[in-house]
A and B are shown apart, each in its own frame.
Chain A
Amino acid sequence: MGKIVAIVTTNKEKVAGGAPIFVADNREELEKLAFRLEKIMDCAVHDLLNGDLIVVEHE
C-alpha cells in the first residue's frame, strides 16, 4: 500500500488531513514544487486531475 507523504495544491479550500499541504499559486509552481518534493522524498508524484498533485511513497 502506498502512503501519501505530501499534497501539493492550487486550491487550499479543497484539501485537508494528515499529510503536509503545500499551496501553489498556479500550475507552473505546482509542478515545480511537486518535482522538488519528488526528488527530495524519493517518492512518486500522481495527478488527481482536480488541480492537486499527491506525493506518494510506494513500497
Chain B
Amino acid sequence: MKAWEWIFESEYTIGILIGGLFGLGARLAMLQTDYRQYPTYPHGRIIHIALGVIAAGLGAVAVPSLLGKDYTAVTFLTLAAQQFRDVRNMERETLTKIDSMELVPRGATYIEGIAMVFEGRNYLVIFTAFMTSLFSILFGWYWGIAAGIGSLMLAHYFKSGKSISAVADVELVPIRIDGPDLYVGDIYIMNVGLEETRQQIAENGLGLIVKPKNKNSRVTIANIGQRQAMLHDISTVLGVYRDTGEPSLIPLAKLDMKDGRLAVFILPQEKDPDKARKVLMKVPLLESAVRMPTEANVQS
C-alpha cells in the first residue's frame, strides 16, 4: 500500500479533502487586492486566507457529520455564522478608524459595503466546500470536482456587484466660477471666498455630471454614502489636490433637486478628464444605497 492510499480508506476523507481544497480555492479567487489596496498586503491577506481555511473546513466537515446521523453537529454552523459576523465587525471597526485619517474618506456606507462583502464571501466559501464535499461523498470524487467547479462559478457570479454605469450616464462638464460661486455645469457647488483658492480650483478642478437613468437610480445616486464613495474612488485613482487645513479645496458632489442629476466636483492630481469619467463609471454601486421606489405597490 502506498503512503497516500489511506486517503481512500475512509469514504469521507476524500470528500472532506476535495471540499476543503475547493473552499480554499474559492476564497483565494475572491480575495483580490485592487486599486483600493484592501485587504492590505501581506497581513490583511493572511488574516482572510486563514479565515477562509476555517470556513472551507466547516463546510466540508458538515457533510459527513450529517451523513453520520450526527444532526446536532450542524449546530456548529451557527458558531461559524457568529464567527463571520465578527469578521464583519472587525472590518468595519478597522476601516472606520482608518477613515478618519483619509484626505477623502470612504464614508460609512462604503465601509459597511466592504464589511458585508467579507462576511458574504465566507458564506460562499462554506457553500462551495459543502457542495463539493457532498457530491464527492455521495457520487464519487469526480462529481465532487464538477460540483466544486460549478460552485466556484456561482460564487464568482455573486462576487461582483454592479457599478454606477449600470444606473446612470456620466458626462464631462466644464466648471464655472462666477464671483465667489463655484458651479459644475449649471449646478451650484459652493462659495469660495479667496481669489487664490478660486485660481487653484480653476486650474485643478474637474466637473462631471451623473445623470440617473430612471426613478430608482435617481434615489440611489442621491444617497450621501454613494456620493462619498464616488469622491473617494476618484481621489484614490487620480490622486487629490488637497491637504490638511485646506477645507476650501474639497471634492464635493451636489444634487440638482429638480431633475436628480448629480454634479461631481473633483480636484485630481492627474488632470485627465476621460480617465476621471471612466473611474466614475466603475465606482461600485453600494448595496445599501440601492432603493426601488418603483417596486412599491402604490405605483400605478
Give the total of A residues in contact with B, Cβ under 8 Å.
15
> Binary interface profile of B, 25-36, with partner A (CB < 8 Å = 1, else 0)?
000000000000
Q: Total number of A-B contacts with CB less than 8 angstroms?
A: 37
SS class, residues of chain B in contact with chain A:
loop
0 or 1 for each of A44-59: is its CB under 8 Å from B? (1 = yes): 1111010001100010
Residue of chain B at shortest CB distance from A58: B247
- Provide the bound-state CA to CA distance between A35 and B245, in Å: 12
Say which size band chain B's interface belongs to.
Answer: 10 to 19
Enumerate chain B residues within 8 angstroms of A39, measured Cβ to Cβ: 245
Pairwise interchain contact B244-A49, C-beta atoms closer than 8 A? no
Q: Does B191 have its Cβ within 8 Å of any Cβ on chain A?
A: yes
Evaluate contact between A34 and B247: CB separation under 8 angstroms. no
Q: Which stretch (B61-69, B129-137, B194-202, B226-234) binds chain A?
A: B194-202
A residues adjacent to B (C-beta < 8 A) = 31, 34-35, 38-39, 42-47, 49, 53-54, 58
The 9 A-B pairs at the shortest CB distance, nearest first, are namely: A45-B193, A47-B180, A42-B245, A44-B247, A47-B193, A46-B191, A44-B248, A46-B193, A53-B193
Q: Could you list which residues of chain B lie within 8 angstroms of chain A, going by C-beta atoms? A: 179-180, 191-197, 244-245, 247-248
7 A-B interface contacts by CB (under 8 A): A38-B194, A38-B248, A39-B245, A42-B247, A45-B193, A45-B197, A46-B191
